[in-house]
Amino acid sequence: MDKFDREKALNVLIALSLLIIPFIAIEMDEPFYVTLATRVVVFAIAGVGLNLALGLGGLISFGHAAFFGIGGYAAGILASHALNYEPLMTSLFELNGTTEMLIIWGVAVVASGLAALIIGLFSLRTSGVYFIMITLAFGQMIYYFAISWPAYGGEDGLSIYVRNKFPGVNTLDPINFFLICFTLLMLSILLISVLKNSRFGAALQAARQNDERLSTVGIHPFKIRLTTFVVSAMITGLAGALYADLNRFVSPSMLSWHTSGEIMVFVILGGVGRLFGPVVGAALFILFESIFGGLTEHWMLFLGLVLLAVVLFARGGLIGVIAGKTRHG
Amino acid sequence: MVKINLLKAGLVGLSLCVAGTAMAKPVKVGMITTLSGGGSGLGIDVRDGFMLAVKQAGNKDLEVVIEDDARKPGLAVQIADKMIQSEKVDILTGIIWSNLAMAVVPSAVAQGKIYISPNAGPSQLAGKGCHPNYFNASFQNDNLPEAMGAYATKTGVKSTFIMAPNYPAGKDVLNGFKRFYKGKLSSEVYTKLGQTDYAAEIAQIRASKAESVFVFLPGGMGIAFMKQYAQSGVDIPVMGPAFSFDQGILKAVGPVAVGVKNTSHWSKDLKFPANKAFVESFQAEYGRLPSLYAVQGFDTASLILSAMKTADVKDTDAFRAAIKKADFDSPRGKLKFGNNQHLIQTIYVREVVKEGDIYTNKLEGIALENHQDAYASQCKM
Amino acid sequence: MTSVLFIEQLLNGLQFGVMLFLMAAGLTLVFGVMGLINLAHGALYMVGAYACATVANYTGSFWLGLVASLVAAAVAGAVVEILVIRRLYKRDHLDQVLATFALILIFSEGTRWLFGSFPLFLNVPDILSGPIELPGGLLYPLYRFALIIIGCLVAIGLYLLIAKTRLGIRIRAGESDREMIAALGVDIRLLYTIVFALGAALAGFAGGLVGALQSVQVGMGEPVLILAFVVIVIGGIGSIKGALIGAILVGMVDTMGRFLLPSFFQLFMNNSDATSVGSALASMSIYILMALVLVVKPKGLFPAHG
């Protein structure tokens, strides 16, 4: 079988098994596994976002936790205002919080997109190691801001006591919330797939290889990269909002550089630039955490060893191992 | 299906039988605590104290599942979901940090689980957010600094330099101190959370010429501060809540902390018989001196074990009432819960001393007797 | 605010800066010569501190501990280079970031497995204990003063090593043209191992020195690692001179920010809010500095390669 067909078949298999697991869990009366699967899905969305910048754009952002956290805080702040009946602002006109997921997602996406626009304008002037480090620095800046900002709990974080609402669906039922997240995951993967095969995607990959050639045909690589960075951040921000709803809680730890590292780990474990790479990576990570975390306090040592082995010996990640190399691998 | 039902009926009958003689209903406790990464020393002490009480009681009906939260709020929430949904525990406990407690406790108690805090007492859960299923067997965050403020006032300290990390717990602690301190504040300084170098702050302390310094710097921050303070030649006496001067940390900071006054709701040399027994058995079991976290873990387990003697955990009302009675002798004396199910307890002043080769704390006196937290009046319970 | 206090704060900033330089020098050297971005540099700092504390407690001599910190970190560095890092030189930065991120996890959990979760004890040696009086009646901790001097000596030593020795010539050659030195018959694998071990030893040395003033615990290397990255990015990655100037700049901005910003906000806010806002801004100050530098000079103040 052709290698690319093999990857497509694998993708379908991954999507189906992820979809089926929660239903089996309900059948076996183990509702916790629904939560676990939802966690995988949410982390996968965050990874899909980063994968756009990292895998397609070659932009190694070490600060995506910032967007994950901003999305989370957008959800947390809106919901807490709505639940406490305190308007967000009263000066010009009265603006209230909300518990409608659709609005929250919109705000989360716009807020993280705006943050990415500002961070991107500065960071994309640099490249290589400088880009890695400046995105890390912006992430740290926002992290310290969140810790010491008293209005929304600072380091204690912010609780959302009730899960937010979605029209026509009971979101308190774990399986419904899972399905909402799963749909969003599939939509974001679809978006990436469309982008990848569009003129934009072609330009992005060209910009990755050679700036000047692109400039001579009248395409501005900076604008292409900035757009990629912003879209990537928006997807990760959406994941942050979902994560807030899943945990009913947001805190600055969502913004810490460890979170940036973990999102990167999802992408790598699965396979950089692969459509379903982050899904596989997030699933592996969660499995590892919940299996070894229960067995030994030192599970992070083993996570480190596995990660090291993947980077050194299985460069395409798990999908790469199974489906073989891609053209630009 | 029928068979299963029969079996279930049989089991119910059996347990009813047993219940007639002694109230022996199995209780499953889920402990979520920090066993890896930064601050894991505290979680290990809570766990060890808890398991010591379990071992001493020898009660086969108490089952404990323990998991590590690695001090990550997201992971703690995930474990709590697993324990509630999958392990079907009756009681949750174990969380060390306020921010993790705020992530887990409100939704756990809303789902009908009892939560007993073996450490940390965020003000939200003591005041408006109090809940019949939430018990605090440790302290409310403001307790120890309030006691330090009261002690400073009582001993006539005229001016104090106060310092804490810039995060909610740090602000709570400084506010707690200010609530009971009547002298002059020479300066109020907030440091970065996790800061390791305090040269700039120590220079300000030196320049302030205050009569005393009150610091709240938990974990490694406190160790770093005390070492650097000792080198600076500033001789203004330091005081603070017990967290930076407790047993686990004294090994690393001992020589430079000698003489520091700190407030605590427990001390190794409290004169209660239960305390003597606890300190000896803890040392025998683990080969080290217990910390206040170990006591809190021990008391948390004792609360559960004492309630199991008289109530069935499935009857939540009765079990809660039994916990609230706290019918046992704690190393801290007899425990007494207030309306918000936080302890009304005496806070002592201790001084860091060297006993033989070991650095430890010596009881100095009482700072606040039978002290109740400032938020109890906001709790509608 | 007195001038004595101000001078003391300047010294503090300088001392913080030179210790950052010890960390940053190794990082920037490794990047300059091998093109490797090493997140595990903070782990080597931790190894140094643990070695120093263990040996100092065992033998009773801080100085033996300091030697141990150099040796242990150099050995750990060499072993890691041979087993792992060597395979990463030809990889892209992403692989390097991830592999060394994995090394952080391994080092941290491994250390905790061996030494437990409680911080270790390590104190300043008696001979350097306490304050000294500087001209103008300024009392300053002798140990911090010694750190400034040691840091400056290391900086000079490093300059001499690179400018005057055969090893230095090879290192400079490696920075400018990697193919060239291989052609000259230099064993490039050995050179890389030595450079990496040298960087590791500097980090371990810093860990041992600073460990006496801080808490020797798992994870102690992470905050300082991030600071060291900020330093080398400001200074220009690969440039030792840039690392020195960047380190002192970061040390000064951080110390002075913590000291001056709260008092600045007190001019127009109430006391408690001012210290809170001021210290929040102070904790972000060096990242703001870094962003500003990169806006003006996207390759840092002293770009190493063109």
The token pair at B264 is: 């605590």
Residue C240 lies in a domain: yes
Residue C306 lies in a domain: no
Residue in B227, B246, B250, B289 to test binding to C, most C beta-carbons within 10 Å: B227
pLDDT of residue A93: 65
pLDDT of residue A91: 63
Inter-chain CB proximity A305 and C31 less than 8 Å: no
**Which tops the pLDDT comparison, B70 or C18?**
C18
Q: Residues 6 or more apart from A279 whose CB is under 8 A from it? A: A14, A15, A18, A40, A41, A44, A47, A48, A185, A189, A270
**Average pLDDT value for residue range B193-205:** 86
Q: Which residues of C touch A149 (CB under 8 A)?
A: 280
* pLDDT string in tens for chain C (306-residue length): 578 888 888 999 999 999 999 999 999 888 888 888 899 999 999 999 999 999 998 998 999 999 999 999 999 999 999 999 988 888 888 888 889 989 999 999 899 888 877 788 788 888 888 888 888 778 888 999 999 999 999 999 998 988 888 888 887 777 776 666 667 777 788 888 999 999 999 999 999 999 888 888 888 888 888 889 899 989 988 888 899 999 999 999 999 988 888 888 888 877 777 777 887 888 888 888 988 888 888 888 888 654
Which candidate from B188, B196, B252 shows the least CB-CB separation from C275?
Answer: B188
Beta strands in B140-183 (DSSP E): 159-165
Q: Residue ranges of the alpha helices (H) in chain A?
A: 3-27, 32-51, 65-84, 101-123, 129-148, 174-196, 199-209, 211-216, 221-247, 257-270, 277-295, 299-313, 317-323
What does the radius of gyration of chain A's CA atoms come to, in whole angstroms? 20
pLDDT band at B153 (very low <50, low <70, confident <90, very high): very high
Residue C301 lies in a domain: no
pLDDT of residue C33: 83
- Quick check: do B23-139+271-343 and B143-264+346-378 share a fold? yes
pLDDT band at B7 (very low <50, low <70, confident <90, very high): very low
How far apart CA A74 and CA B196 sit, in angstroms, is: 32
pLDDT of residue A168: 83
Report the SS3 class of residue A50.
helix
pLDDT of residue B24: 57
pLDDT band at B352 (very low <50, low <70, confident <90, very high): very high
State the complex-level ipTM: 0.83
Which candidate from C87, C276, C300 shows the least CB-CB separation from A312?
Answer: C87
Low-confidence stretches of chain A (pLDDT < 70) are 1-4, 84-85, 89-94, 210-215, 294, 325-329
pLDDT of residue A90: 64
pLDDT of residue A4: 60
Residue of B nearest to A146 (CA): B167
Q: Which residues of C touch B221 (CB under 8 A)?
A: 215
Q: Which residues of C touch B249 (CB under 8 A)?
A: 118-119
Homologous superfamily, domain B143-264+346-378: Response regulator (3.40.50.2300)
**Average pLDDT value for residue range B290-304:** 94
C6 touches chain B (CB under 8 A): no
Residue C267 belongs to domain spanning? 3-296
pLDDT band at B274 (very low <50, low <70, confident <90, very high): very high
pLDDT band at B12 (very low <50, low <70, confident <90, very high): very low
Q: Are A108 and A240 in contact (CB under 8 A)?
A: yes
Q: Which residues of A touch C112 (CB under 8 A)?
A: 298
C230 touches chain A (CB under 8 A): yes
How far apart CA A284 and CA A272 sit, in angstroms, is: 15
How close C217 comes to chain A (CA, Å)? 16
Residue from C102, B74, B40, C99 nearest A303 by CA = C102
Percentage above 70 pLDDT, chain A = 91
Q: How many domains does chain C have?
A: 1
Residue from B304, B252, A308 nearest C80 by CA = A308
What does the radius of gyration of chain C's CA atoms come to, in whole angstroms? 20
Query: What is the pLDDT of chain B when averaged over all its residues?
Result: 87
Domain ranges across chain A = 39-270
Q: Are A319 and A278 in contact (CB under 8 A)?
A: no
What does the radius of gyration of chain B's CA atoms come to, in whole angstroms? 22
- Amino acid code (one letter) for B135: F
Residue C149 lies in a domain: yes
pLDDT of residue A125: 84
By CB atoms closer than 10 A (0-12, 13-18, 19+), residue C243 is: buried
Inter-chain CB proximity C109 and A140 less than 8 Å: no
A246, A248, A254, A258 alpha-carbon torsion, rounded to 10°: -60
Q: Which residues of B touch C107 (CB under 8 A)?
A: none
Query: Which is it for the CA torsion C241, C243, C244, C246, positive or negative?
Result: positive
Give the model confidence (pLDDT) of A135-187 as tens digits.
988 998 899 888 877 777 777 788 777 778 888 888 878 889 999 999 999 99
pLDDT band at B345 (very low <50, low <70, confident <90, very high): very high
C95 touches chain A (CB under 8 A): yes
Which candidate from B85, B102, B171 shows the least CB-CB separation from A159?
Answer: B102
Q: Which residues of A touch B99 (CB under 8 A)?
A: 155-157, 251, 253
Residue C282 lies in a domain: yes
Domain ranges across chain B = 23-139+271-343, 143-264+346-378
CATH no. for residue C59?
Answer: 1.10.3470
C271 touches chain B (CB under 8 A): yes
The token pair at C247 is: 């380190």
Q: Span B23-139+271-343: which CATH code?
A: 3.40.50.2300
Inter-chain CB proximity A253 and B72 less than 8 Å: yes
Q: Residue ranges of the alpha helices (H) in B236-357?
A: 247-257, 273-286, 292-310, 316-325
How far apart CA B319 and CA B315 sit, in angstroms, is: 6
CA angle (C209 as vertex; C208, C212 as ends), nearest 5: 85
Inter-chain CB proximity B249 and C130 less than 8 Å: no
